[in-house]
């Protein structure tokens, strides 16, 4: 495993023909350097994309913080009933990196990713 095991909702924002398309999904493998996103739709984009991640605060399902991260390598791999999209993080918006780092530390996760 590369990152922390979580189950967070995400939206992958991809530009197609000049328009932004939103692919809803989830991640359960995330670190400070990247994530694997699972979605029901095929994603195939060679340009950077934006990943919006909803990170729950504590044990409250209704209380969460959304962060945005610019990513690369958004080419989905078909699996049984979904697509797996590996992403490498480029830049975080605002305090996103600090929010993600705090959430991963709270869950005892792997901050750097890798094997």
Mean pLDDT of 73-85: 76
pLDDT of residue 115: 43
- State pTM to two decimals: 0.83
Helix, strand, coil percentages in the chain from 3-state DSSP, rounded to 5: 10, 55, 35
Phi-psi map region of 114: left, alpha, beta (phi>0 left; psi -120 to 50 alpha): left
Residue 39 has pLDDT above 60, yes or no: yes
Question: CATH classification of 8-106 is 3.30.2310.20, yes or no?
Answer: no
H helices of the chain, in order, are 96-106
Delimit the domains of the chain by residue range.
8-106
**105 DSSP assignment:** H
């Amino acid at each position: 495993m590369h990152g922390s095991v979580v189950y967070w909702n995400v939206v992958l924002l991809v530009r197609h023909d000049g328009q932004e398309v939103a692919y809803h999904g989830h991640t359960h493998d995330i670190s400070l350097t990247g994530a694997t996103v699972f979605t029901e739709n095929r994603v195939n984009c060679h340009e950077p994309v934006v990943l919006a991640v909803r990170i729950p605060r504590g044990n409250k399902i209704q209380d969460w913080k959304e962060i945005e991260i610019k990513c690369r390598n958004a080419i989905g791999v078909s699996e049984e009933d979904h697509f797996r999209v590996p992403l490498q993080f480029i830049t975080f918006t605002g305090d996103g990196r600090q929010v993600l780092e705090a959430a991963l530390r709270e869950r005892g996760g792997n901050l750097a990713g890798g094997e």
